[in-house]
Chains A and B, each alone.
Chain A
């Protein structure tokens, strides 16, 4: 009967129900978008590190992120790393921001990634046109089809200039997006060095692959003792560092989290307001229940059931709208991400928000004087 009464109380006033649902829905959509952007951003920031086939990353001391590592490491560090017990391979990678001059004039910034795919540490994934062999051909690069407009190109065969040299688009990747909005452009290691004017033994990172059975911590410790002026990070550590740099030092992540908190706050206030007014309208019925001998707990359950029902209905509607927005965003430079974990967390958050909203109503009910039933 608790659920029946809660359901009837809720649906008795359809307009108020609609206001409650809009409150929850607004909150869910806002939080889903903000956290979806946060997750999407996180994935973009860590995608290169995540996709790499490496156990450890050697970076110049203080490298802030994948894009901002500098081209400071030399072959000396590589040889020292290769001589370390437990190390199977040390693969150089060159990464740097560079100026991209569009074919029709104007310029933008790109992140140039120089890698030798044959080394098996990092290669452009999701190639939709062309192959790695095409990228190895003279002046060749791969660009991502999401950024054609920014790069001023239309597809394979277009030419542009990166920093010091002319390049030709020979392969296309699909949806390898960049958080910095500077598109990733892949080319070979030596061509990247040449375009960036770096010496032929220089690298931004060394990707370390371990021998089977080697202990990661032992190897890391050994590497640290051998390498001066360099850091040795696990993939997770480097991902965290990149996330910290782009999401928190730039304030972008705080803005997203702030937006999500605002959504939660607004949703809670709207739901609390409508639950309170619903409880106030049904106060005489709650007083009657109390006079009939119901415990306070019984009445609280009715109010919480009302809150819970609002939460479930609001959540279902909110998540459907959020999924629609997610679908629309899939081809934009900043796609939103929804994971089962996030969907579950949002549901938990909605229930929590509704339960918190019920507090004011419960306080109101706590003060009911059952004697009022005789005054009507």
Chain B
């Protein structure tokens, strides 16, 4: 195995960012996990649990992580950001070395993760789950500066609070404009949950306000269920303008809060621009996405098609038919940990298991809907949706069903985040 170099060991020992440092021992395998979200944290904790004799380092770019799931409840002013923000103390206590630092590059040839500060961490295998980056530049006029005026709030944190406060300060009868990208992007139903929960808030504090969704596609996840709920809960408040009717967003202007689409100009009092996305920069810089925007992997083992020894999962990767969701990423992280543990021990990984995903969406705090998927690796090595399984919540269900699903959503969130961060 490749142990850490003397320079790395010294750098790690001297790093204030290191939360816990079990000594890296000669002769033990070292797996470095990049990304402290759902995928990376699940991978690191699962691997340490099933292979305690493996040294596991989790590289996180900040000492706190705010989840995108449930961040729309923050926008709705139902919960504070602190409710969806977690630290890594429990991860460290579980025996994982948590390293706070920005991963600049994964060098598969040299088997090192290069940090922005120049330090390097050697690995036998790496698991990379760095999430997405917003593709500033995809929409003319939308850059990091414009995002201060027209927040994306598609990475939870300060952007979420910024948009929450803008919604609260919107003039009576004002317009909330949301620009939504074409697929693929993080959390397919997320924009429509956001429109719902913003409507929930506005219906109380600003009941004559309007919400306009300028969509980069013609149809969306759970569309019938969302529209049924909007008619029921917020009649007349939300207008969805599909791609065929707007012709696509051409540019935005932060000074005038305008979204210019091919067929129509939308001016808002609050504008939420959710731009197109790519795999996080560290994955692109490391060549893990080839010439594309997303990382291509072996869908049975998550191993990169371009970088042997490096596994990629979560939102940054194309993981067969699985959507880019926190649920999917956490399942993929745990399954990938089993693959890596098997290979480190010279065993064949399980390849005939079932993987699941559920995306819950809240239309109000007590009105939930879901889409579920079941995935298996087929004979060609593709992780495909199992036919005749999965699917959406029923249409025209009574309040009890919707309330129960809202309860399941909360239960899912708390159970998963307790396991990852608690």
* A and B: bona fide binding partners: no
Query: What residues make up the interface of B, taking CB atoms closer than 8 Å to A?
Result: none
